[in-house]
Each structure stands twice: as C-alpha cells, then as structure tokens.
Amino acid sequence: MMPRLLALWLKESIALLRDRHGLIALFIMPTMFILVMTMALRDAFSPGITVDVGYVIVDLDHSSNSQALARRLAKGASFKLQATGTPTPEAARDGVQSGQFALALVLPKGFGSRLLTPAGADGQATEPLTLLVDPALNPALQLAFRNQVMAALGALRADELTQRAGKLFGLPTAPGARPERDWPDEITSVAVRSGKNIKPPSSVQQNVPAWLIFAMFFVVIPISSIFIIERQQGTLQRLRTMGVPFRLLLAGKLLPFFIVNQLQAVVMVLIGLVVVPLFGSEALEMPSGLGLLNWWAVSVAVSLAAVAWALLVASIARTAEQATIVGGVSNILMGAIGGVMVPKFVMPAFMQKLAALSPMAWGLDGFHTVMLRDGSFADLLPNLLPLLAFAAGSLILAAWLNHRTIAAHS
Amino acid sequence: MLKVDGVSYRYRDAASPALQDVSLSIPAGGIYGLLGPNGAGKTTLISILAGLLDAGHGQIALNGQPLAAARAANPRAIALVPQDYAFYPMLTVAENLRFFAGVLGLNGREIKIQSDAAIAFARLEQVVGKRAEQLSGGLRRRLNLAIGLLGQPQWLLLDEPTVGVDPQSRHFLLDAIAALPAAGTSVIYTSHYMEEVEAICQRIAIVDQGRVLAEGALADILSSPEPQVELELDRPLPPDLAERYAATPLGNFKFRLFFRLTVGMTSELPRLLDELATAGCTVKNLNFGQQNLEQVFMNLTQRSLRD
C-alpha cells in the first residue's frame, strides 16, 4: 500500500510544481489580496479611531479658552491636526483650496470672553465660529467634525462653569491646575453579534485568515486540472487495470494538497506578521501555546473541506474549463457571502444569517474564535464539526459520482 | 492459454449487445490479432480481459483459472496499453515510468530495473528527461507501450497501438511488438491496419457486431477455398476468356484493372497465361490460392460504413 501511495503523492507534487497557474492561484493571489485589502480597509475596521483628514485652527482670540478648545479637539478628535503655526483666515482658506487640509476652524476674537454669554443676552451679537470645508470632503465627515467641535465646546463651557462655580462656592481647586477636566464621556465601541459581545477584528486580523481560507479553497484549480487530464486521457482506466483502487487515488490526492494548504497557512501568516507592517499597518498577532494548536486545528479542518470540495468539483466537471468556472465561481460566491470579501460584522442581519451557509464563514469564525476571543478547542467545535461534515459529504459524493461514471461506461 | 467461452456483454441502455456468445482460444507465446470494424466489440472484449468490465455471461479462463481469480493472484499478469496516451503530460518520460512502476507496487530497485528495461525496449534513452507533452506522436506511442511492459506482464493487450504515427515509428513499434513473445509476453493486438496484422500475428479473430466471424491461424484464414486466380491486367479481359473462366471484374482502382477467374486445377494456370499472352494482355500481378486479409475482412464484414 505504502509504496503505491508514495508514488501517487510524488506524482501529484511534481504535477503541482509544474502548474504555474495553479501556484499563482494558491500563493500569489492571496498574498496580493492580503496586502491590498489590509491597506485599503485599514480605517474601515476601527471606525472613529482615526480619520485620515487634516484640519487647522485659526485662533484670532488667543485666550486661554480658545487654546483649551484647541487642546480638547486635538485630544479627542479623530481628525489630524496639521501643524501650520498660527495661520491667518486667508492662509487657512488657501490651504483648504489647495487641498493641504480639508477643514479649518476659525475662532473669532472675543470667543473666550463670550463663552458663557448666551447670544443676544447682553444686546451684543456673538460672532460665530466659522468652519472652512473642502466641498469634496464626505458630508458625513464634515458633520462628524462639526459634532466634535460642538462636543468640545460643551466640555469647555462645563469646565468654565465648574471653575467659576467652584470659586463662587469656595470649592477647593489645585493651584495652577488647568481648568480642563476629563468628563466621563469616553465611549467604547462594542460590536454586538449573536448575543455575544466581541471586539471586532482589525484589518489584518480580518484579512489574513479570510484570504487564507479563500486561497485554500483554490486548490480546486490544480486538483481538477490533474484529475480531468487523468480521466480524459484514460489514465484513470489504466490505473484501474493496474489494480489501483479509487480510494487509494483519493488518498493520493488528499495528502499533497493538504500539505500545500498548510504551507499556504504558514506563508500567509508570515505575510501578516512581517510584510504587512512594512506597509504601515499593524502586524498580525498570533495566539501562542495551546491557542496556536487550536488555530492549526481550524486550518486542518478548512483544508480538508477545501480539498474534498475540489475533488467533488473535479468529479462533476467534464473539462478543465468547466472546473475552472464551477470552482472559481463557487469559491467567489462562498467568499462573498461568507465574510471573506466583506467582513461579516458589517453585513445586515439577514446577510449574516446567509453567511452561516458558507463553509468559508465557518472557517473564518473558527479563526476569529481563536484569534480574537482566545477560544478553547470546545469553543471551536461548532465551526470544526460542520467543516469536517462538509469534507466527508463532499468526498462521499465525489466517490459516488466516480463509481456512477464507471458504471455508466459498463 | 487464454480461453474465452461464450462471453456476452451488453452496455447499460444499449439497444444491442456489444458482444454475443464470443468464444476464442488464444494460445500463449504468440501474437493474436483481433480485427473488426469500428463498434465491432474489440475494445469491449479487451476491456473485459483487462478487468475494466465484468463479463455479463460466459467464462474466461487464464491457464485454466477463472480470470478474476487469476488477476487477484497476480494483478500484473495482464497489462493494457490503451489507445489513448494514458500517462501524465506534465511529467517527464522517466517520471512517468517511475510513477507507473510505483503504483504497480514494485520496490525501489525493481522500479529502477524495470524502468530502464522499458526505456531500452522502446528506445526512449534520448528523451528520458523530456516532458511527455513535448514528445512527438511516435514517441508518445512508444512511451505508452513502454508503460504497459512495466511489471513484466504475461499478457499484453494492445488497443490500436500504431494510430497516428509515421511509417518509421510504425515499423519500429511492429518490430518491437513482434519480439515480445520471445521475451515471455504474449500479445493480443487490435488494429484496423490489415498489413500490420498480416505482418505480425500468427492467429487472428475477425469480429463484427459483437460476433466472431472467423477465428484461427492466419494462414488458414487467408487460404482460398476455391481454385480462383486474381489478376491485374494492363487492358480489359477479352470477352471469350471472361466467359470461359467465369471472370468477375474486381474493380478499377486508379486505372488498374483487377479480375477474379475460376480455374479447374492448378495445372490449367499455364494455359490461361498463354491465352492471355496471345490476346495481347500483359499480366501485372497474379495471386492464386491465397487471399489477402483485406479481402477476407471486407467479404466477412461487408462494405457498408459503420459510423
């Protein structure tokens, strides 16, 4: 049994090494996807933390209040403060126009002295704050900045009021302390899903496992191209006359492609650890110890599902073109609904339910269970068992289809 | 001895059986030709012998042992060389041979010995490192044959082994196949090419529509039962001679004239030749007492197109 299996493994390995398109689909494609998508979606995964939009403050008041507002905005704002010294309103206008920055907030003269004076209360007009905006800036971001200014203003007024009230009522104040306080207004985002609270993945945590799963399923291209050549050229029949049982043939294909899948896992993780940070994104964090074993268990289950699925597609397809289309399209569909291309947590509820149908989603959930929630092996079972059942079902169906083909010819 | 006894086979959903009550005795140590038009049942019979199909009815025995038991006892006893190039185009010649030797269950040393022997037999030394997809048609046929010889089979089933090759490769293949019985491998050979079968087969069977129409030693099948003479002449046969010898024109191929005449005895031949000379007819070709295989084949299977 063993020398025959070794011959089959060696044959598959050589054939794969010479299949340039197959290797590109298995290794180059996911690498590109991981790098491009991690960069492209870097900000989309942590909404409100940082926005790549710059602003300046034109302080015409030069009061302690105007400076306190600037500090509050710089501290709490998700927008980037551009260092431009102390610009004039005209310079700020030119800067917005030339695209140097998208927002400029003008604090008028008298801003500090009239901070607590309601408009028109003393018969004098209060000059409003002016926001110069680049019209090309997303309106939602314009609104977000306005709201942040409003919130900072509110906090500033509260500081001012408590300070003055403190003096009025003789409350103790630390001498020389800044009037700004940390009001308990910090908000933490928590993504709510299926009744459990989890931290949403970062861009690299989403993209590395997602595209790894996607790439693992692409073994369908090399597996089917070899399998269809074997069937069309009569090699399978020759092997049958040599007494090679079909189950041995399947075993001969399972192991080499399982190893290829594990190699893909190592390469993609290394890209997440080493290459992604070179492009300015955060590095992938991998679990250690038992967590790493659990991570590998998910990788094994995804691989078995992917190879079995590929054998099924190769058994259904009559030609290599059919296999490429059926395999490619089914992978893209599984990836699209399974949260590979669009993360599941941004999908509406009914799409998240649909995602549960995709084996890629089971794998991705498994990886996230280990990577984001420190899940134990028992926590993984709801993901591993469907993957293994899917693999077994695909293999059985593939074997049945091949026996039926043989029977139809006899 | 491979004995096929009353074997019938019908493909699922087929209107008529592919084989009907086929009985053949194929002695070991020779080359046995299996002839028949397309769809005659040759490949079905080969497939049954190779273990790809199970005979519906009838028995097949190899050296007195039922075929299935004989195959189980020695899975390498019968090897098939299919009509297709049944190997891996992306693997080199040497890799293909090593792979097929490996799946036959040979050990490392045997793999090397038998691969080398197969390379030498098919004269593939110059192309061992070349990928199979880069080989010419003739070299592919030789590789296909070489793979069949791995495991040193007692019987080799060859399904149209010379299709699509140039005359040089064909002659090489035929010589190589003709030498196999001396090396201990009996051959069953199917082909459409009559001259190939005439050249290398000692015994033949002609099959059509699933039935055996003729079987026996090639010489017996080709010997003419009637005292007939076939002539090729340079001009039409004079009417009086045509009448006297009950002549039938055999056709006019590419401006060549063929006739079949009936003579009473061999001793009448010189007189016929004298008469033809007197009538001014030059005899370009003469055949007496022996038919060629193509004539026998066409007479038995009729001339109608089969597919």
Q: What are the tens digits of pLDDT across the range A225-283?
A: 899 999 888 899 899 999 888 889 888 998 999 999 999 999 999 999 999 888 878 88
With respect to residue B58, please indicate whether it lies within any of the assigned structural domains: yes
B106 and B252 share one domain: no
Q: Does A319 touch chain B (CB under 8 A)?
A: no
For residues B214 and B273, membership in a common domain is answered with no
Residues B16, B149: one domain?
yes
pLDDT band at residue A197, thresholds of 50, 70 and 90? very low
Domain stop point among B222, B242, B272: B222
The stretches in chain B having pLDDT less than 70 are 225, 251-255, 302-307
| Residue B80 belongs to a domain | yes
- Cβ neighbours of B88 in A, within 8 Å: 11, 15, 229-230, 235
* Any domain includes B132: yes
Task: State the pLDDT at residue A124.
Answer: 74
Residues of B in contact with A19 (CB under 8 A): 90
Confirm or reject contact between A14 and chain B (CB < 8 A): yes
Are B274 and B130 members of one domain?
no
pLDDT of residue A210: 93
A5-14, A32-41, B140-149: least confident range: A32-41
Tell me the β-bridge partners of B26: B2
Lowest mean pLDDT among A31-45, A174-188, B79-93, B180-194: A174-188
DSSP 8-state secondary structure symbol assigned to residue A19: -
State the average pLDDT for chain A: 84
B148 and B24 share one domain = yes
Strand order in the sheet with B19-26: B19-26, B2-9, B57-62, B65-66
- CA B59 and chain centroid, separation: 23
Q: Determine whether the interchain pair A3/B107 forms a contact, defined as Cβ–Cβ distance below 8 Å.
A: yes
Domain membership flag for residue B208: yes
How do residues A360-402 score in pLDDT, each as one tens digit? 999 999 998 888 888 889 999 999 999 999 999 999 999 898 8
State residue B304's pLDDT score: 56
Please answer yes or no on whether B102 and A3 come within 8 Å at the CB atom: yes
Say if residue B195 is in the same domain as residue B96: yes
In a domain, B301, yes or no: no
> In the sheet that B78-81 helps form, which strands lie side by side, from edge to edge?
B78-81, B155-159, B186-190, B31-35, B203-208, B211-217
Q: Specify if B205 maps to a domain.
A: yes
Specify the pLDDT at position A193. 45
Count of domains forming chain B: 2
With respect to residue B112, please indicate whether it lies within any of the assigned structural domains. Answer: yes
Q: Tell which wins on pLDDT, A121 or A66.
A: A66
Which member of A4, A11, A234 has the closest CB to residue B86? A234
Predicted local confidence at residue A194, as pLDDT: 42
Please tell me the distance in Å from A307's CA to the nearest CA on chain B.
Answer: 21
Given B206, B222, B238, the domain boundary residue is B222
| Structure confidence at residue A177 (pLDDT) | 57
Q: Could you tell me the residue ranges of all domains in chain A? A: 2-45+206-408, 54-183
> Which of B84, B100, B131 is nearest residue A233 as measured by Cβ atoms?
B84
Check whether residue B180 and residue B244 sit in a common domain: no
The domain covering A54-183 belongs, at the CATH homologous superfamily level, to Periplasmic binding protein-like II (3.40.190.10)
| Same domain? B191 vs B119 | yes
Q: Is A407–B79 a contact, with Cβ atoms under 8 angstroms apart? A: no
Secondary structure class of B286 (helix, strand, coil): strand
Contacting residues of A for B76, CB less than 8 Å apart: 242
Minimum CA–CA partner of A231 in chain B: B86
The pLDDT score that the predictor gives to residue A258 is 94
**pLDDT band, very low/low/confident/very high, at A38 (cuts 50, 70, 90):** confident
**Smallest CA–CA separation between A18 and chain B, in Å?**
7
CB–CB contact B85 A233 (8 Å): yes
* B91 and B9 within one domain: yes
Range of the domain at B190: 2-222
At B3, is the secondary structure helix, strand, or coil?
strand
Q: Which of A8, A21, A223, A235 to mutate to test the interface with B (most CBs of B within 10 A)?
A: A235
The pLDDT, as a whole number, for residue A48 is: 46
Are B161 and B26 members of one domain? yes
Highest mean pLDDT among A292-301, A312-321, B285-294 belongs to A292-301
pLDDT computed for residue A198 by the predictor: 54
In angstroms, the CA B59 to CA B56 distance is: 9
The reply to whether B245 touches chain A by the CB within 8 Å rule is no
Instruction: Indicate if B163 and B249 belong to the same structural domain.
Output: no
The answer as to whether B300 is a domain residue is no
Nearest residue in chain B measured CA to CA from A5: B103
Q: Would the pLDDT of A50 be above 70?
A: no
| Residue in A6, A9, A11 to test binding to B, most B beta-carbons within 10 Å | A11
Q: Is the pLDDT of residue A192 over 60?
A: no
pLDDT of residue A243: 87
Measure CA A395 to chain center: 31
Q: Do B144 and B262 belong to one domain?
A: no
